[in-house]
Structure 1
């Protein structure tokens, strides 16, 4: 598993650099920007008819540390709204404590709002499905729903209700895991899972 994680980290670093360069070339202002990890990166805006209204700044494998480093790429575009979906990878790809991940998410939110006058909506962390035949443990790794719920609980305490987006509860099954019908590998969403994700985005855009 350690070797697998190191391989994944190398791929992530290379993709991060490519995406940062791509985001640096953007010149579309006053749009909704979605910032995050693979949950955002794999969101096909064209498929859902949102490409003209929304900018996707997702990078697969990204962490709160990576987002902090690239925040200016979003702030300079003076977005009308920002949707933030980040934090799960911190559990497996960084040495941050759960509380430090929460603090970073709040820091990201506050910095964007202070520098761009944009309202930032924070999606809580999505659940995982462990111990199933479809589960890819290279991706799920050591993250657990217990840790994810601890982060979400703290975020809920610190973010006003209208800006805290509780997608977690919409994706779980009766056992509290990511519902099998919404996932491809125990962590990433399939088209049906993204329908739920998109419903929240549409709600935010109407506000």
Structure 2
């Protein structure tokens, strides 16, 4: 047991080691007005959203409009795993960090809502997305990885100074997802455009020896409990000066 614990700690350290750091954010007291046209329309239909997400997505976009990002914020983009982290600025002691997680969202949904993010010229973007794609048997790991890489390209093209971090897809307790997650993460880590983004191998933080989510870190086999969030936060702290 002790040996196994040491191995897990070593893996977690490796997952969080990086020379890429988020620099100081030049904050402003001026409230930025973001054009409505940069947000997805309330009538937008994302075909890969399930029925529940198709209702939640426009609600969250409406909430984002009411609480717009500000110039040079640090944006956490993702699905429910990011969303349920709630106040990331408080967790990481950095008020410039804003949560743009949407429960149930998929890579197609993120691609449709990059307008707001690019408009504010973010200092950094942390991306956590893909598990809902892989839960859909009709969406392949190759397609999921391609979309994640496309998200980074769009951000980089419009804001080449923005630091982009892609967090690998977390493990789950579902046997049929092990190989799908592994392939998606492998494609991302081996992609030739690695210079555009930095990979944070968050999968390693939470995987047990069988590549399942560690039971003591989850509430349902997919989502994190508070202990899991603390491990994630401790990892991310290393990316901030």
Q: TM-score, normalised by structure 1?
A: 0.83
For the structure 1 residues 91 and 185, does the alpha-carbon distance in structure 2 shift closer, same or farther, using more than 3 Å as the test? same
Number of residue pairs aligned between Structure 1 and Structure 2? 188
- Which position in structure 1 is the counterpart of 2:183? 150
Partner of residue 62 from structure 2, selected from 10, 16, 21: 21
Q: 3-state DSSP class of the match of 1:57?
A: strand
Q: Does residue 12 of the first structure (1) align with residue 53 of the second (2)?
A: yes
Q: Does residue 35 of the first structure (1) align with residue 70 of the second (2)?
A: no
CA RMSD between the two structures = 2.1
Instruction: Judge conservation of contact 2:153–2:196 (CA < 8 Å) in 1.
Output: no
Q: Does residue 88 of the first structure (1) align with residue 131 of the second (2)?
A: yes
- Which position in structure 2 is the counterpart of 1:121? 165
Bigger Cα Rg: 2
For the structure 1 residues 50 and 38, does the alpha-carbon distance in structure 2 shift closer, same or farther, using more than 3 Å as the test? farther
Instruction: Judge conservation of contact 1:24–1:73 (CA < 8 Å) in 2.
Output: no
Distance (Å, rounded) in 1 between the aligned partners of 2:210 and 2:146: 29
Question: What per-residue deviation string (whole Å, max 9, x for no partner) do you get for residues 147-168 of structure 1?
Answer: 1011001110012497100011
- Which position in structure 1 is the counterpart of 2:153? 110
Q: Give the drift of 1:93.
A: 3.9
Q: Does residue 44 of the first structure (1) align with residue 77 of the second (2)?
A: no
Q: 3-state DSSP class of the match of 1:62?
A: coil
Distance (Å, rounded) in 2 between the aligned partners of 1:38 and 1:50: 21
Partner of residue 215 from structure 2, selected from 177, 180, 185: 180
Distance (Å, rounded) in 2 between the aligned partners of 1:181 and 1:119: 32
Distance (Å, rounded) in 2 between the aligned partners of 1:161 and 1:176: 28
Structure 1: runs of 5+ lacking an equivalent:
1-7, 132-142
Q: 3-state DSSP class of the match of 2:142?
A: helix
Instruction: Judge conservation of contact 1:23–1:73 (CA < 8 Å) in 2.
Output: no
For the structure 1 residues 86 and 47, does the alpha-carbon distance in structure 2 shift closer, same or farther, using more than 3 Å as the test? same
Q: Relative contact order, CA 8 A, sep 6+: which one is greater? A: 2
Q: 3-state DSSP class of the match of 2:158?
A: helix
Distance (Å, rounded) in 2 between the aligned partners of 1:205 and 1:94: 37
Runs of 4+ that moved beyond 6 A: none
